[in-house]
Amino acid sequence: MDVIKKLNILKTDFNNDEVVTQCKMVAREFHQQNQQLFEFSSILNIDDHAELNCLIFDLFEKNGFNEELKLNLLSVLRLLSRDRKLVLSIKDIGKCIQIFVKYFQGQDTHGNNVENDCVIEVLRCICNWVYHSKPVRDFLLKIKLAENLIKNMKTFILNDHLYFKLRLIFLMSAHENEFRLAMVECSAMSLMLQIIQKIISQAKNSNHVMDAQGCKIFCEVFRASFNITLALQECSSDGTIESCSSLVLCCTEVLHLDLHKNAPEDILTPIVHLMVNLPKACLEKLCPPVSTENTESLVNDQKVFKEHDMTSVIILLKELRERIKIQDYSKMKEKTMAILIAFSYICRDVPLMRKYLRGEVLPPLSITKERPEERQDACGDIVRLMTTVDVMLKNMAADFLFVLCKENTERLIRYTGYGNSAGFLATRGLMVPGRHIDGDYSEDELTDVDDEQVDVTTGAMKEEKPSPLDSMTEEEKEIEAEKLMHMFERLKELNAIKPMTVTKDGKLVEFTGPKDDE
């Protein structure tokens, strides 16, 4: 490879400007020609990669090394870090990581553009290594990356440096439970809270609009926080729980300010994903109590329920209905599932939210000819999801309604119809009438109607259907009976059925035809 030849020359003649220029040109050409590749076996073998890797790191450690050439070489190294086989072939990976970690932790975030770009390339390269290699992750755990990152990020700026450090936290915490525990012990959630608060503050000063940079970092914070909070059951402290509660309050502020509507990316999905990991004490902050001073003025306000502000829940329910209407099925499924999972989880733990959503989604039953899936309200939207072809989505929609029905099978059937809920009940082993799951649910008023007026299968009003025999003469009835007998005989000849009869002692035996009386 030309780049290896030039770097070997540069290694022996470090200050040769002509060679430096040639190395820059070769590195740029390699990057431009291969920037769309993710597998390099056709152009680079493992031995060449090992040599190139050694050359780059040897030059990287030299003082006075040309910054622009350093950036070009780091770009090449980052491209090669996409290939898992090449990453796993690096022999002295620990030394490489130490050089890179020392570099990005020692650089000033206020450096010039080339220095900043070098740090970003280093972070991107480490992220790729972490994704591909277990030995890399083990080494980062060994050098206590969690503690070092948290210390390094205490004085943060909302830039690409911060974004890729958060991406590194996300990748490490996604793969390694030990890293998640270390992040909790280092009070990482407190840092995540500070970053979110700063982004919200900036958005407030920009007419409630979150810029692309802030939006990107916002999403990465919540993705990293989701992984970290998976460790809350094993390791948590009062400070961590307090930070999580404050983070939920920040989420409500984002919803109240409609920051999710004007954001260039979907910031709502990472928010609802995080909620599934949080304890009950944190989730209750979604519906904060209304101050006694404002209670009287808000008596008729639809956003207040039992003296609690339900604005966040209303926004999430509205967003759910909008997402259900997305035409792209895979996109609709991804975005809808997130809110359905969050609602199912939260309603099991927060009775106030369950009661409110039951009133909004499952209002008192009324006798109507309209089937549940034909309604145009929130219930109709969700019941239609129960008839979709995707098993995960249909079961999740049913589970949400099941929780709103306090996990009572008979009540679910009355609201959705047996035909719509049968598949879900079968997967839960609840097909037997009268069975239900014992949950920690409070008592509330019943709104069930008279079962005799409702067709249990469809969930709509029973239709009076006249008997076809009423309009037939005796001769026509005999003709239909003969047709039926012929059908049975034909099925018997084809061995499709075997007619049976019951003897006097109650045993089933094959029916051979009527016997003549003796």
Reported as a single tens digit per residue, the pLDDT across 22-51 is 888 888 888 888 889 898 888 888 888 888
In this prediction, residue 515 carries a pLDDT of 63
**pLDDT tens-digit series, residues 165-197:** 999 999 999 999 999 999 988 889 999 999 999
Instruction: Please state which of the ranges 182-196, 333-347, 430-444 shows the lowest mean pLDDT.
Output: 430-444
Q: What is the pLDDT of residue 175?
A: 95
- Please check the confidence at residue 493 and state whether its pLDDT lies above 50: yes
**DSSP secondary structure of 106-155:** HS-TT--HHHHHHHHHHHHHHHHHHHH-HHHHHHHHHTTHHHHHHHHTSS
* Residue 516 confidence (pLDDT): 55
Mean pLDDT over 139-144 rounds to 93
Highest mean pLDDT among 66-80, 284-298, 389-403, 422-436: 389-403
Cα 143 to Cα 154: distance, rounded to the nearest angstrom: 19
Q: Which one-letter amino acid corresponds to residue 120?
A: I
Backbone dihedral angles phi then psi of residue 340, each to the nearest 5 degrees: -60, -45
Of 239-243, 367-371, 493-497, least confident by mean pLDDT is 367-371
> Across 322-331, 358-367, 499-508, which has the greatest mean pLDDT?
322-331
The H-or-E segment that residue 309 falls in is: strand 308-309
| Beta bridge mates, 326 | none
Comparing 70-79, 219-228, 444-453, 477-486, the range with the smallest average pLDDT is: 444-453
Residues paired with 510 in a beta bridge: 500
Quote the CA–CA distance of 374 and 246 in Å, as a whole number.
Answer: 41
Instruction: With beta carbons less than 8 A apart as the criterion, state whether 61 and 99 touch.
Output: yes
Give the pLDDT of residue 430: 78
Location of structure tokens 């190395």: 23
Report, as an integer, the average pLDDT of 236-256: 86
* Integer Cα distance of 405 and 411 in angstroms: 6
**Residue 30: predicted pLDDT:** 86
Handedness of CA 345, 390, 131, 7 (dihedral sign): negative
State the DSSP H helix or E strand holding residue 500, giving kind and residue range, or none if neither: strand 500-502
Structure confidence at residue 294 (pLDDT): 56
DSSP element (H, E) containing 328: none
Strands (E) in 2-77, as ranges, are none
Contacts (Cβ under 8 Å, ≥6 apart) of 15: none
For position 518, what pLDDT does the model report?
Answer: 41
The winner for highest mean pLDDT among 125-129, 376-380, 477-481 is 125-129
pLDDT above 80 (res 86): yes
Among 9-13, 426-430, 482-486, top mean pLDDT goes to 482-486
Q: Using 50, 70 and 90 to split pLDDT, how confident is the model at 514?
A: low
Per the CB < 8 A criterion, the answer to whether 240 and 279 are in contact is no
Window from 141-150, 252-261, 285-294, 447-456 with minimum mean pLDDT: 447-456
Average pLDDT for 508-518: 68
Residue 502 has phi, psi (to 5 degrees) of -105, 130
User: Distance between alpha carbon 501 and the CA centroid of its chain, in Å?
Assistant: 57
Residue 403 pLDDT more than 90? yes
The confidence score (pLDDT) of residue 199 equals: 93
Render pLDDT for 91-118 as a digit per residue (tens, 0 to 9): 888 888 888 888 887 665 555 567 788 8
Residue 273, pLDDT above cutoff 60: yes
Look at residue 210 in the predicted model and tell me its pLDDT: 87
Average pLDDT value for residue range 412-431: 84
What letter represents residue 211's amino acid? D
Cα separation, 316 vs 29, in Å, equals 49
**Longest distance between any two alpha carbons in the chain, whole Å:** 123
pLDDT surpassing 50 at residue 8? yes
> Rounded to whole angstroms, how far apart are CA atoms 269 and 271?
5
pLDDT tens for residues 194-233? 999 999 999 888 888 888 899 999 999 999 999 999 888 7
Share of the chain above pLDDT 70, in %: 85
Residue 62: how many other CB atoms lie within 10 Å: 11
Are 227 and 261 in contact by the 8 Å Cβ rule? The answer is no
Q: What is the pLDDT of residue 446?
A: 47
Query: What is the spatial distance between Cα 288 and Cα 311, in angstroms, rounded to a whole number?
Result: 10
Give the Cα separation of 321 and 340 in Å (integer): 11
Average pLDDT over residues 294-320: 79
Instruction: Report CA Rg, the chain.
Output: 33
3-state secondary structure of 265: coil
Residue 235 predicted with pLDDT over 70: no
User: 413: Cβ–Cβ under 8 A, 6 or more apart, which residues?
Assistant: 421, 456, 459
Cβ atoms 236, 188 nearer than 8 A: no
pLDDT of residue 66: 77
